[in-house]
Structure 1
């Protein structure tokens, strides 16, 4: 391979964070919106833990891989009864049509959580670790509005050992002056409106403007963090007492690239098994499935069928998430109030 090709690759690496999405892509955010919106902190009556892994564009060497752990819980020692955070009675289905008819919003309360996301893209890696806090306000008998903040650090690193040239005797200055890693402060905000059937939210990540460069060479140090904006909404419909469907939409904006639009649909049976589909404009179709194994464990999986030009070389994307519901004394099987 010609040396000039490596220079082009280097220019892409060093400027990538200036012109493209910097946070990982997710398909199962519909299962864990907390990844994108800190206002969801403490929305459940138990500690909601998620452990996930995503393999983007399988079949392409050095394609993105993402691992994450999230956890959030409501603050306070008292359980909230007959509201968005608890069952009407032990063992009943909290998302059944009968319960929704008598749904009442939760009293005002606080929530907090933690997120840790590790993302790899070729020689680049990124670790985002945040603490989150949310306040849930009771608007009326059926609606809550929560406001949340996420604060933490981001570590972005370049593995210079993964960059090799045909002529190792002539090392490019951008490599010889390379900055191996850098630590930056991180801040995100979000709002979340929810009732028994409806949810809507908006959030922004990477609010703080930060320069991002891996070299002292001025020709390659134009990288910077850019804000990521998310807006989503969905509504739960009942086919009968045991089957429900939930359509939802997500719009994501990362300047200067065009907005990304996802349309999703989930069908659940007794909130024990569910299947779903998703379409991401100009990118992919996705198939999703999940099972609530017990009051402690649930497992979900998604496969993305790539529709962009990458489908010539990619075998699609895989994403799997394990959910753990700690201190779930009321034996809730469904893992999320909304989705």
Structure 2
């Protein structure tokens, strides 16, 4: 029975890769939108480093496991040291209501970054390594628009030792073509101000073939473009407490539109609590701490609401943030909250 269950899992993995979502799932993308949108590169005046780990559907054998790192930073000393919003907190809350009234758009500047993602599900491991670039310009005294691009490689590997087909030769994996490396491209836009953000991005735009065989004429799958539309608004409940509702729409043809609805409540610049709902998939709780001017930590737990909930014990995700070159000792993001 276990062999049949594993075979079903393998077939589902191939179906996922060829016809539906091919990118990893993140619950804490609200903590690191950069991983989805390259236009965020260099949005803050420090070097933003993130390490993330996600263990999805715990209790299910060969369930997805995702790990990633990301680094992005602004370019140019004028922005790093001359930004009108760059000031030392001195223990104060830089995001409280009366300070937000004096918010000013960032000076036009460039940003760059790099990220890597490894996502493993059953016998299939996908890896991505991208360099990113963005340009931020001011549309008004309080609003910025940034445009970004991500370019790099995508690697897809199949561990045939984990597949048992009772000695049947399957032309899909009949040769040694189980390690594929492809070029990859993504684009993004990000509009942001003191109390809102909105973005649109697309990944896997090159639509490259996905196959594990060199056999001519074999029916191949393709990398499918992924479209993300995100928006959020900050509403102050008091001088130091803000509620931040946000939403993300994700479209991957031919799968149905996926919607994430989130609410994050931030207490000063110290910690936050929140919740998230992903249509036909999961509900989650999120918590995070701005430990100091160097470290930030976030955790989320997903309650599976689909039929997988009968066998899954939920999903865990941890993100560690490091604020390098933090000249003004800020303890929370000022532009990408």
Deviation at 1:94, TM superposition (A): 1.9
- 1:175-194 to structure 2, matched below 5 A, reads 175-194=173-192
Does the aligned pair in 2 maintain the 1:152–1:186 contact within 8 Å? yes
**Quick one: distance in 1 between partners of 2:282 and 2:293?**
33
Change (3 A) 1:94 1:115: same
Partner of 1:248: 246
Aligned partner of 1:275 in structure 2 is: 273
Displacement after TM superposition at 1:179 (Å): 1.6
Q: Please give the residue correspondences for 1:171-320 in structure 2 after superposition, counting only pairs within 5 Å.
A: 171-217=169-215, 221-320=219-318
Q: What's the CA shift for 1:15?
A: 4.4
Quick check: 2:153–2:183 contact (8 Å CA) kept in 1? yes
Is 2:97–2:239's contact at 8 Å kept on the other side of the alignment?
Answer: yes
Q: How far is the alpha carbon of 1:65 from its aligned partner? A: 0.5
SS of equivalent to 1:104: coil
Give 1:80 deviation, angstroms: 3.6
What is the deviation of 1:2?
10
Deviation at 1:336, TM superposition (A): 5.6
Q: Does 2:36 correspond to 1:36?
A: yes
- Name the CA distance, whole Å, in 2 between partners of 1:275 and 1:6: 38
Residues 1:146 and 2:116 aligned together: no
Calculate the TM-score normalised by the size of structure 1. Answer: 0.93
1:216: Cα distance to partner? Answer: 3.7
Alignment deviations for residues 268-300 of structure 1 (CA, whole Å, 9 cap, x no partner): 111201100011111111000000111000100
Q: Distance in 1 between matches of 2:9 and 2:298?
A: 36
- TM superposition shift of 1:9: 5.8
In structure 1, the partner of 2:55 is 55
Shift of the alpha carbon at 1:98? Answer: 1.4
For the residue of structure 2 that corresponds to 1:24, the secondary structure is coil
Q: CA deviation at 1:178?
A: 4.6
Q: Summarize deviations over 1:222-253 as a string: whole Å, max 9, x none.
A: 21100000001001111111111100000000
1:5/1:262 CA distance change after superposition, 3 Å: closer
> What RMSD in Å do the two structures reach over aligned CA positions?
2.0
Question: Is it true that 1:73 corresponds to 2:52 in the alignment?
Answer: no
Please state how far the C-alpha of 1:89 moved relative to its aligned partner: 5.2
Q: Identify the residue that residue 108 of structure 1 maps to in structure 2.
A: 108
The 1-side partners of 2:48 and 2:290 are apart by 13
CA contact (8 A) 1:244 1:268 kept: yes
Structure 1 portions without partners, runs of 5+: none
Separation (CA, whole Å) in 1 of partners of 2:2 and 2:60 = 21
CA pair 296-6 structure 1, distance change in 2 beyond 3 A: closer
